Amino acid sequence: MESEALQGVSLAFIVTGLLCGGLVGLILQRGRFCMNSAFRDIIFIKEYNLFQAYLIALIIMLIGGNALADMGIIHLKAQTFYPLANIIGGYLFGIGMVLAGGCGSGIIYRVGEGQVASIVAVFCFLFGIGATTNGILKPVYDLLRSVKLAGAEGAPYTLHGFLGDDPMMKWIVIGVLCVGCFVYVLTGKPFAFGKQKGFFWSVAGSLIGVMGLVTFWASENWGSPGFARGMNFTTPAGETMFTFLIGDARSKFFPMFDLAGFKVTWGEFFYIGVPIGAFISAKILREFKWKIPPAQEMLTVMGGSFLMGFSASVAGGCNVGQALTGFTTLSIGSIAATIAIVLGNWTMVYYKFIKPMEDI
């Protein structure tokens, strides 16, 4: 790790990170793709298309990511299962993103639209990450991640691993998951393209899935040789914050490189690229506009985004890092975190939106 930290960055290192992040930001903005909305709308307004868009992205990443891994083009690594951290952290993250008005990817791309609430949310998200991984909340972080479950020789538990270590079993599991998801996606009429300003929901989901594969490949080739880190927002956000504050990304999992004396990671450039891409998209669509929310809403956003920073750090990732990138590896930890995120989201949606209407 130390020798890698001293290696200088290349032009491709910077350009691929910014380009991948920029394209993801553009797709998120133009497709209005936010997992907080995707999960929320299921029980709040009985609208399923954004959730179906998420499933399309997941199908593409499951099939494409594992195919690339089997061909040796990328190397996927499943997360270890930390039951307390994955479940409690995921559940709290689901609550936090409702309060913050956006998920980990949603708040950063909306910065590019000029939403002041999202700018504040990003800073509080970063503050929550820092306080959890290196600050006053670290004892809680250590406690929740002190319990872990793993197989023989510390191998992470995976969904297909319970059924046998045969590669064919992995593809049977992937096939069952993808067929089930695809059949459900078809109920939303994904090919009934309408006339609209941004991307149709199925197009947005497909493009996010493709960018998930591109980011796997680019991150391994230029950012973390031997391991595709892929799309994620929590870890790069923390790395960006620490580089800005102390000149050292303090990355525990990914190689760091030297940039004019600063220790940086590929993920930082990906993260910085997202709001840039969203800004370009918003300007083209004439949707960029500075928006300042009421003070009470701002306080709720601050609390929710800080909670997201804490819980995403504990859970080992946010909605994208676990529900897409992590899920692609079929990690039990990532799947548990994803389910917990959805349940946490639904809990807060009920108390914040549905219950008040029922009480009227």
Tens digit of pLDDT for each residue in 285-322? 999 999 999 999 999 999 999 999 999 999 999 999 99
Backbone angles phi, psi at 100, to 5 degrees: -80, -15
Question: Does the pLDDT value for residue 3 go beyond 60?
Answer: no
d(CA 301, CA 298): 5
Summarize the confidence of residues 324-335 as an average pLDDT: 97
- Do 320 and 35 meet the contact criterion of CB atoms below 8 Å apart? yes
Summarize the confidence of residues 162-181 as an average pLDDT: 91
Q: Give residue 215's identity as a one-letter amino acid code.
A: T
Each residue's pLDDT tens digit, 84-101: 999 999 999 999 999 999
d(CA 265, CA 14): 9
Each residue's pLDDT tens digit, 14-71: 999 999 999 999 999 999 999 999 999 999 999 999 999 999 999 999 999 999 999 9
Q: Residue 105 is part of which domain span?
A: 2-358
- The pLDDT score that the predictor gives to residue 5 is 42
Question: Does the pLDDT value for residue 4 go beyond 80?
Answer: no
pLDDT band of residue 165 (cuts 50, 70, 90) is: confident
Each residue's pLDDT tens digit, 104-153: 999 999 999 999 999 999 999 999 999 999 999 999 999 999 999 998 88
pLDDT band of residue 6 (cuts 50, 70, 90) is: low
Each residue's pLDDT tens digit, 187-237: 999 999 877 889 999 999 999 999 999 999 999 999 888 889 999 999 999
d(CA 196, CA 180): 29
Domain count, the chain: 1
- Look-up: residue for tokens 């930001």? 25
Helix, strand, coil percentages for the chain (3-state, nearest 5): 70, 5, 25
User: Against a cut of 0.75, is the pTM above it?
Assistant: yes
Which helix or strand (DSSP H or E) is residue 63 part of? helix 49-70
Buried b / exposed e along 155-168 (16+ C-beta atoms within 10 A) = ebbbbbbeeeeeee
pLDDT band of residue 1 (cuts 50, 70, 90) is: very low
Neighbouring residues of 333: CB distance < 8 A, sequence distance ≥ 6: 78, 79, 80, 81, 82, 86, 156, 157, 316, 326
The chain-wide mean pLDDT, for the chain, equals 94
Residue 229 CA: distances (Å) to CA of 246, 272, 276, 348: 23, 16, 21, 30
- The pLDDT score that the predictor gives to residue 154 is 85
